[in-house]
Amino acid sequence: MTAPSVSRFQPANVVDRTAPLPVYFQIAGDIRRRLDSGEWSAGHRIAAELELAREYEVSRMTIRQALAELVKDDLLERRRGSGTYVRQQRRPLVYDLSLTVGALASRWQEADFDNRAEVVEATIVEPPDDLRHRLQLPRSGEALYLMRRVFINGLPTVLYRSWFDVRLVPGLERSPRLKGSLSRALAEEYQLSPARAETELEVVRPTREETHLLQAASDVPIAMVTSTTYLKDGRPLEHAQLAWLGDRVRFHITAYPGAAPS
């Protein structure tokens, strides 16, 4: 059992409330400096939130925001009921918005991220009009609804909700492969692979179900990625909503000046 590290930090004038940078961002930068200086070594617990709040003379909520920045950069990790620890190995989890979900999952697997899924719900539903339109379903058509909880490096990180035209994926709700790569199951069992995706990102408050399933505090925001993927012939393949914990992922996109390359 690793003993908690005792802080040797002496309060300094690191917070400039007149600066354009948010206070939590200034504190995150100073804690990063303290990590680089070796004040807390890999695997050790850093000072508690209340202690840090006293040192920086800010609220505990501000400290949580600062720590969340460093968790996203994979410098720190939170252990439920134990505290915040310095990561042994630093590998930030980055969501590349220019990739489809399947391509992104493949990239993470190549980087040796532990990525597994737990099926929360799998059922045939009568879709509302908006979803019927997105999936181009006939009036009498049904949709397959899946909700999976995805663990990355052992932590519940995202709730993956997806809808399919049942005619495209008969029996998918019973597939044992739903605990692994959904895109691989679609490709190998149904010969279906997306050719393009339309993606939106918004920050929302978590629902009670989301905080429960993701084992998160109610004040941690959710980054909701909504995506519809299409087959090469233009037919919709999947409509999905991915509820990511805001303190466990960072987003990236590559932009091109003018028109995007073909």
pLDDT digits (tens, 9 = 90+) for 225-253: 999 999 999 999 999 999 998 767 778 88
pLDDT tens, residue by residue, 184-193: 899 999 999 9
Q: How far is CA 76 from CA 40, 46, 88, 92, 247, in A?
A: 11, 9, 9, 10, 11
Question: Model confidence at 5, in pLDDT bands (50, 70, 90)?
Answer: very low
Amino acid identity, position 51: E
pLDDT on residue 3: 46
pLDDT on residue 251: 82
Output the six-digit token pair for 185: 């199951």
Spatial CB neighbours of 124, under 8 Å, sequence gap ≥ 6: 142, 143, 144, 145, 166, 173
- pTM beyond 0.75, yes or no: no
Does the structure show a pLDDT above 90 at 17?
A: no
- The ranges assigned to domains in the chain are 1-92, 94-252
Does the structure show a pLDDT above 60 at 9?
A: no
Judge whether 162 and 123 are in contact, CB under 8 Å.
no
pLDDT tens, residue by residue, 58-99: 999 999 989 988 887 778 888 878 899 998 766 667 778 877
pLDDT tens, residue by residue, 153-193: 777 889 999 999 999 999 999 999 888 889 889 999 999 99
Instruction: Give the distance, in angstroms, between the CA of residue 153 and the centroid of all CA atoms in the same chain.
Output: 12
Q: Which of 136, 118, 124, 155 is nearest to 235 (CA)?
A: 136
Does the structure show a pLDDT above 50 at 213?
A: yes
- Range 94-252 has CATH code 3.40.1410.10: yes
DSSP 8-state symbol, 224: E
Per the listing, tokens 């697997």 go with 109
CA distance 9 to 7: 5
- Higher-pLDDT residue of 20 and 11 is 20
pLDDT on residue 233: 96
pLDDT tens, residue by residue, 116-132: 899 999 999 999 999 99
CATH architecture of 1-92: Orthogonal Bundle (1.10)
Per the listing, tokens 């045939």 go with 124
DSSP result, 150-193: EEETTEEEEEEEEEEETTTSTTGGG-GGGGS-HHHHHHHHH---
Pairing assessment for the beta strands 94-96 and 250-252 based on DSSP bridges: parallel
Judge whether 27 and 14 are in contact, CB under 8 Å.
yes
